[in-house]
Chains A and B, each alone.
Chain A
Amino acid sequence: MTFVRSAPEPVLPPPPRGRDPAASSTFGSAANIVTTLVIAFFAERSLPHFLAWAFTNGVWRGDAADCRDAGACWIFLHEKAPFILFGIYPEAERWRPLLVVSVLIGLTLWTMPHRHWTRATLLTWVVGIAGSLLAMAGGVAGLTPVPPSAWGGLPVTLLLTVLSLALGFPLGLGLALARRSRLPLGRWLATGTVEILRGVPVLTLLFIAAVMAPLLLPDGMRVETFVRALVVFTLVSAAYLSEVLRGGLQGVPRAQMESAQALGLRRREVLLIVVLPQAIRKVLPPLASTIIVVIKNTSLVMVVGLFDLVSAGRVVLNDPAWPMPYAETYLMIALVYFAVCHGVARYALHQERVLGEGGR
Chain B
Amino acid sequence: MTILDIAGVHKWYGDYHALRNVSLRVDAGERVVICGPSGSGKSTLIRCVNGLAAHDAGEIVVAGETVSDDPAALRRIRTRVGMVFQDFNLFPHLTVLQNCVLAPMRVSGLSAGKARDMALALLDSVRIAEQADKFPGQLSGGQQQRAAIARALCMQPEIMLFDEPTSALDAEMVKEVLDIMKALARAGMTMLCVTHEMAFAREVADRIVFMDEGQILEVADAQTFFTDPGHPRTRVFLDKISL
Instruction: List the interface of chain A (C-beta within 8 A of B).
Output: 253, 255-256, 258-267, 269, 273-274, 277-278, 281, 355, 357-360
Contacts and interface: CB of A to CB of B under 8 A. Distances in A.
B89 A358 contact: no
A269 B106 contact: yes
B93 A265 contact: no
Given A255-B89, A259-B85, A357 B135 contact: yes
Contacts of B107: 263-265
A264 B78 contact: yes
A359 B89 contact: no
A265 B107 CA distance: 6
A69 B136 CA distance: 67
22 contacts: A256-B89, A256-B91, A259-B83, A259-B90, A259-B91, A260-B91, A262-B78, A263-B103, A263-B155, A264-B155, A266-B106, A269-B106, A277-B93, A281-B93, A358-B93, A358-B94, A358-B135, A358-B136, A358-B137, A359-B92, A359-B137, A360-B92
Interface string B84-104: 010101111111000000110
Contacts of A357: 135
A260 B76 CA distance: 14
Interface string B68-92: 0001000110110111010101111
Closest 10 CB pairs of A and B: A358-B135, A259-B89, A263-B103, A264-B78, A264-B107, A264-B79, A262-B83, A360-B137, A255-B89, A264-B75
Contacts of A360: 92, 136-137
- Sorting the interface of chain B by its residue count into under 10, 10 to 19, 20 to 34 or 35 or more gives 20 to 34
B58 to A, nearest CB: 21
Contacts of A260: 91
B52 A261 contact: yes
A353 to B, nearest CB: 14
A355 B93 contact: yes
Nearest to A255: B89
B95 to A, nearest CB: 7
Nearest to A278: B93
A230 B36 CA distance: 61
Interface in B25-62: 50, 52
B138 interface: yes
Which of B75, B83, B90, B92 has the most CB atoms of chain A within a 10 A radius of its CB?
Answer: B92
B102 A263 contact: yes
Contacts of A261: 52, 78
A251 B82 CA distance: 26
A358 B94 CA distance: 8
A263 B92 contact: no
Given A259-B83, A274-B91, A358-B137, 16 more contacts: A258-B52, A259-B85, A261-B52, A261-B78, A262-B82, A263-B78, A263-B107, A264-B107, A265-B107, A273-B102, A278-B93, A357-B135, A358-B93, A358-B95, A358-B138, A360-B137
